[in-house]
Amino acid sequence: MIHLKVNGVERAFEGDPDMPLLWYLRDILGLTGTKFGCGMALCGACTVLQNGTAVRSCSKRMSTLAGAEITTIEEISVHGPHAVQAAWVHVNVPQCGYCQPGQIMQAISLLKTKPAATDGDIDDVMSGNICRCGTYQRIRAAIHEAAKEMA
Amino acid sequence: MIPTATSKIDTKALAPNRISKLTIENVSRRGFLQGMFSAGAVVLCARLVPRPLWAEGILAEGGPTAAIDASAFRPSLWVGIQTDGVVYIVAHRSEMGNGVRTSLPRILADELDADWARVHVVQGDGDERYGSQDTDGSHSVREFFDALREAGATARLMLVRAAAQQWGVPESQCVADPVHVVSDRNSTRKLGYGELASAAAKLPVPKKEEVKLKSPADWRYIGKPAKGLDAPDLCAGKPMFGMDVRLEGMLYAAVARPPVLGGKVKSLDDKAALQVLGVKRTIPIDPFTASPAAQPLGGVAVIADNTWSAFKGRNKLQIAWENGSHGVYNSTQFKKELQETARQPGKLVHSVGDVDAEFAKGGKIVEAEYFAPHLAHASMEPPVAVADVQGEKVTVWLPTQDPQGVQEQVAKALGTKKEDVTCHVTLLGGGFGRKSLPDYAVEAAVLSKKTGKPVKVVWSREDDIKFDYFHSVAAMYMKASLDEAGKPKAWLQRSVFPPIGSTFNESAVYGGDGEMSMGWNPLPFDLPNFRAENGKATAHVRIGWLRSVANIYHAFAVQSFANELAYAANRDPFDYLLALLGPPRILDSAAHAQPGIAEKYPYDIGRLRHVAELVADKSGWGKRKLGKGSGMGIAVHRSFLTYVATVVEAEVDSSGAVRIPQVHTVVDAGIVVNPEMVRQQFEGAAVFGSSIARTGEITATGGAIDQSNFSDYPVARMNDAPVHTDIHIVESAAPPAGVGEPGVPPFVPALCNAIFAATGKRVRELPLSRNGFA
């Protein structure tokens, strides 16, 4: 039995300890905002926060998560749009939108550690997140905008 | 929108407008939209009768209304206005980042003078009575622009009439102004659309002659930027995609497919798989018969109670495969074969003058060979489908570009009727052409039938890359002879690639009309002697459509070769390109395969020159001093009826690392409905193009695909994508053309031309990683 907190709620997991967090969130808890993209921590679509820091949920096995506090995109918007989400909408970042929850979680994590992230900081951190529609320049702009809003 | 648990022919991309007749009807009291509207709502249906149906006279007698049973009748496009003023508009085409759920309803809302904030967009299920729902070929706006306008204007006129009757004043005294309300010109009286809905519902539909479309100067939405309708929900992670569908009691499936096309299971040992926690059973899936088309590839499905267990179980299957004839496919050898074919005369595509006679005269001859490999789509959301088979009835939820194709293929596979298959279209996490073919839906349906439960088939990224409908590999041979001024006197080009047609008919070895029209014939150049040929090639993998399709390799060859000739002639590449384009003129439509298109969309060299001149201006071509290792490259291309010119700036360091600091793209797509979306499409096309150019390469060994995930099939990331892409949209009153795809083709040659300007090294084989660049 693995005990962890997901979006502030205590959870107990009894399944296959090899199961990645991603599939626990999506298939067991029904939190489908966290997306499946590659299963190998290559694309960032599955990004969630573990104790406040961005991690790839597709590569975090449940066996490693005892006591962890997980935050997903669903929790971020529970009290209305987060500044990062608002900036995303304002800059009109999404095209298909599939990768954007992961991008947003990564950006939230980035701005926690670097509230005044430079282009270089953004490129370094956000390059782990793939967008096939090619929204990168808008993502960069939205992060700058959110940073201003949050300052 | 989505539940949470609880033979195609490749000419289609340039097919003529498939609609020839529009009828609008007042269906307020038909009751077919049960649950959607409350009593008193006015509901209009605009029915687009597809050309073939009409042309064949099936519906000719008495018109379409008489021919279609009213009880079976469902509208093509509809708009409904509730008594509370909410306007419902159906989006009958697929949203995959192309923006149709925003742009199509805005066309109608504009003519209706509806308040966009009070418009609810409803996604249409698969239904042939919608007309074409096949969201490909960049034709959603082009095909439905007129119909949506007329539907909106008709509804507006009925609301105005209802107000005039209520007030007892002449219709001319009433006007839909400012928005969502009808006003009396001679007083301050106003009636909201909701207040007028019930009265309008009782009115007959005005005759076409009575309906006045707005003048473009009065458009309130068309041509004005709008943000994506779904952006807030997408950013909140709401369940909207096929991958997010969950049904009560649903099972999950992962399929082990034959690594080689046409392969079969020789022997199976599933003992270890069945030991995996959560795995319920394994089920064989039959291999396809005849040609692959949209049939499953076959193999063995692992059924489990969650996705992870299905994946894990699949990894434990012990399968011996019988590979069949395509096991001979080796990309290195195949490349040599394609190149050898391209060096020999091929099938004639088009000829002007006599290139052979001109070449025989000697003079300065330039030859070059180009090569472009297979590509995979790798949309962020891998293929996924949920099917629920209940007796004869099938319900499918999935991200698809072609819901009617889903109905057909699922019905065929299960031996049921197309009408018994309900296809709910979710949002697509990218499509790029992959989701035009619903083999994954058929897998889900087959498995649901066998298990008696709803089944969700989830493709892993590895499945997606290994079992794609690949963009074709292509070899091109180019030859020109130049006059004293360096202008071509003769131009010969040969293109060789396994065609898309092979997916539907294994014997197809030549490109279809669609493929040959994509950047190969006509060329926009002023050439006294020209010959285009196509050599034969046999496919060993499934070939499909990928965003801009054959334009990718054809534009790469043609626009790179034009650049090579500029240097051979010692001319500035931009000046030379203009000289090649020649004087503004309309190309002879008889010379190219675009039946029904040329009247409305003539191939206008003046517009192509204009975008080229503008992009040179915007990019500071020839005016800016670039540092060592930097260069600018230009390319122009018309595809999907849209004229595009791109200038790419590249910086190449001593290690061969390429940075792309700036891209300028100028677009003339005729009337643009949503410039914001157009910018997004062309920004995205530069990134998509940079993935193709830098690292895009799928290869096969022994018939099996070598790549598997983003580790060995890298795509552009933020740190290697173009840093800034500026889009300039040409204002135009020409009919709307495509925007989803046309940004891709010119990007790759513009980048390669920039790299040549920066380094003197010519890229004739994609991707860049094959040329010592990174």
For residues B159 and B182, is the Cβ–Cβ distance under 8 A?
yes
* A chain contacts of residue B276, beta-carbon cutoff 8 Å: 16
User: Residue B132: what pLDDT?
Assistant: 78
Report the distance separating Cα B768 and Cα B650, nearest Å: 13
Percent of chain B with pLDDT over 70: 91
Q: Write out pLDDT tens, residues B666-691.
A: 999 999 999 999 999 999 999 999 99
Substitution target from B6, B96, B234 for chain A, most A beta carbons within 10 A = B234
- When pLDDT is cut at 50, 70 and 90, the band that residue B23 belongs to is confident
Flag whether residue A27 sits within 8 Å of chain B, measured between CB atoms. Answer: yes
* Closest among B741, B379, B250, B616 to A133, alpha carbons compared: B379
Burial zone of B218 (CB within 10 Å; 0-12 exposed, 13-18 middle, 19+ buried): exposed
| Structural contact between residues B283 and B301, judged by C-beta atoms closer than 8 angstroms | yes
Question: Among all chains, which residue has been given the structure tokens 């997903």?
Answer: A72
Q: How high is the pLDDT of residue B27?
A: 78
Report how far residue A45's alpha carbon sits from residue B37's, in angstroms, rounded to the nearest whole number.
38
Looking at the predicted structure, is the pLDDT value of residue A52 above 60? yes
The confidence score (pLDDT) of residue B67 equals 32
**Residues whose CB falls within 8 Å of the CB of residue B521, separated by 6 or more in sequence, listed in order:** B349, B350, B532, B591, B592, B593
Assess contact for A63 and A119: CB atoms under 8 A: no
State which amino acid sits at residue A131. Answer: C
**What are the φ/ψ torsions at residue B507 (nearest 5 degrees)?**
-85, -5
Q: What average pLDDT score do residues B516-525 get?
A: 95
What token pair was written down for B175? Answer: 């006007």
A72, A81, A130: residue with CB nearest B710:
A130
Where on the phi/psi map is residue B85: left (φ > 0), alpha (ψ -120 to 50), or beta?
left
Residues A21-49 have pLDDT tens digits of 999 999 999 999 999 999 999 999 999 99
Return the percent helix, strand and coil in chain A, to nearest 5: 40, 15, 40
B-chain residues near A98 (CB < 8 A): 241, 243, 379-381, 427, 429-430
**Chain B positions in Cβ-Cβ contact with residue A19 (cut-off 8 Å):** 306, 308-309
Distance between CA atoms of B548 and B555, rounded to whole angstroms?
10
Q: Are B266 and B321 in contact (CB under 8 A)?
A: yes
CA torsion, ordered B635, B661, B548, B748, to nearest 10 deg = 50
Please write the tens of the pLDDT for every residue from B238-293.
999 999 999 999 999 999 999 999 999 999 999 999 999 999 999 999 999 999 99
Amino acid at B95: E
For A40, the closest chain B residue by CA position comes to B709
Chain B residues inside the 8 Å CB shell of A38: 461, 709-710
Rounded (5°) CA angle B257-B263-B267: 80
Is the pLDDT reported for residue B18 higher than 50?
Answer: no
Query: Which residues on A lie below 8 Å from B718 (Cβ)?
Result: 122-123, 126-127, 129, 136, 139-140
Please state, rounded to an integer, the average pLDDT across all residues of chain B. 91
In angstroms, the CA B253 to CA A43 distance is 23
Helix (H) or strand (E) run with residue A37 in it: none
- pLDDT range class, residue B46, cuts 50, 70, 90: confident
Q: Averaged over B339-356, what is the pLDDT?
A: 97
Å between A11 CA and nearest CA of chain B: 18
Q: CA torsion angle for A53, A54, A56, A59 (degrees, to 10)?
A: -10
Please compute the mean of the pLDDT values over residues B521-540 and round it to a whole number.
Answer: 97
Chain A, window 57-76: residues with a beta carbon less than 8 angstroms from a chain B beta carbon: 72-74, 76
The beta-strand segments (E) located in B504-548 are 529-535
Residue B44: its pLDDT value, please? 81
Q: What gap in Å lies between CA B545 and CA B391, rounded to an integer?
A: 34
Residue A134: how many other CB atoms lie within 10 Å: 29
Contacts of B228 (CB under 8 A, 6+ apart): A92, A94, A95, A97, B99, B101, B102, B234, B677
Query: B200: how many CB neighbours lie within 10 A of its CB?
Result: 27
The burial of B332, by beta-carbon neighbours within 10 Å (0-12 exposed, 13-18 middle, 19 or more buried), is given as: exposed
**A82 within 8 A of A76, measured Cβ to Cβ:** yes
Which one-letter amino acid corresponds to residue B262? G
Closest CA to B766 of B371, B478, B473: B371
CB B564 within 8 A of CB B368: yes
pLDDT digits (tens, 9 = 90+) for B540-598: 999 999 999 999 999 999 999 999 999 999 999 999 999 999 999 999 866 655 556 78
Predicted local confidence at residue B397, as pLDDT: 97
Rounded distance between C-alpha atoms, residue B610 and residue B728, angstroms: 12
pLDDT digits (tens, 9 = 90+) for B73-98: 233 567 889 899 999 998 889 999 99
pLDDT at B15 over 80: no
Model pLDDT for residues B118-168, shown as the tens digit of each residue: 999 989 899 887 777 889 888 889 988 998 999 999 999 999 999 999 999
Which pLDDT score is estimated for B4? 57
For testing contact with chain B, the best of A13, A27, A43 (most B CBs within 10 A):
A27
pLDDT at B595 (0 to 100): 56
Q: Report the pLDDT value the prediction gives residue B247, as an integer from 0 to 100.
A: 95
> Is B166 exposed, middle or buried (CB count within 10 Å of its CB: 0-12, 13-18, 19+)?
middle
Note the pLDDT of residue B131. Answer: 75
Helices assigned H by DSSP within B216-345: 231-235, 271-275, 307-315, 331-343
**CA separation, residue B6 to residues A31, B3, B248, B449, B691 (Å):** 13, 8, 5, 21, 40
The size of chain B, in residues, is 774
State the Cα–Cα distance between residues B246 and B239, nearest whole angstrom. Answer: 10
Res B64: pLDDT: 32
- Name which of B235, B248, B663, B665 to mutate to probe chain A: the one with the most chain A Cβ atoms within 10 A of its Cβ: B235
Predicted confidence at residue A76, as pLDDT, reads 96
The candidate with the shortest Cα–Cα distance to B646, out of B745, B521, B547, B546, is B745
Q: Closest CB to A132: pick one of B95, B430, B686.
A: B430
Contact at 8 Å (CB) between B194 and B82?
yes
Q: What is the distance between the terminal CA atoms of chain B, rounded to a whole angstrom?
A: 43
The predicted-structure confidence for B203-224, as pLDDT tens digits, reads as follows: 999 998 999 999 999 999 999 9
Average pLDDT of span B336-363: 97
Asked if residues B662 and B723 have their Cβ atoms less than 8 Å apart, the reply is yes
pLDDT band at B50 (very low <50, low <70, confident <90, very high): very low
Taking the C-alpha atoms of residue B687 and residue A93, their distance in angstroms, rounded to an integer, is 14
Helix ranges (DSSP H) in B187-284: 193-201, 231-235, 271-275
Q: Which residues of B88-110 are buried (b: 16+ CB within 10 A; e: fewer)?
A: bbbbbbbbbbbbbbbbbbbbbbb
B678 touches chain A (CB under 8 A): no
Residue B550 main-chain phi, psi, to 5 deg:
-65, -15
The mean pLDDT value for A42-60 works out to 98
Phi, psi (degrees; rounded to nearest 5) at B20: -125, -10
Cβ pair B548, B639 in contact under 8 A:
yes
Share of chain B above pLDDT 90, in %: 84
Residue bearing tokens 């890359």:
B465
Q: Is B457 on the interface with A (CB under 8 A)?
A: no
Mean pLDDT of A13-24: 97
pLDDT value at position B385?
Answer: 98
Identity of the residue numbered B242: G
- Gap between the Cα atoms of B17 and B641, Å rounded: 12
Instruction: State the number of CA atoms in the 13 A half-sphere of A105 facing the CB.
Output: 33
- Which member of A89, A130, A137 has the closest CB to residue B235? A89
Ramachandran quadrant class, B62 (left: phi over 0; alpha: psi -120 to 50; beta: rest): left
Distances (CA, A) of B729 to B297, B648, B665, B667: 43, 17, 8, 5
Residue B308, SS3 per DSSP: helix
- Write down the pLDDT at residue B351: 95
- Lookup result for tokens 């004005």: B224
pLDDT at B5 over 80: no
Segment B610-614 shows an average pLDDT of 98
Please name which of B399, B771, B128, B155 lies closest in space to residue A35, comparing C-alpha atoms. B399
Burial of B549 (0-12, 13-18, 19+ CB in 10 A): buried
Cβ neighbours of B159 (radius 10 Å): 29
pTM to 2 decimals?
0.94
Task: Report CA B676 to chain centroid distance, whole Å.
Answer: 18
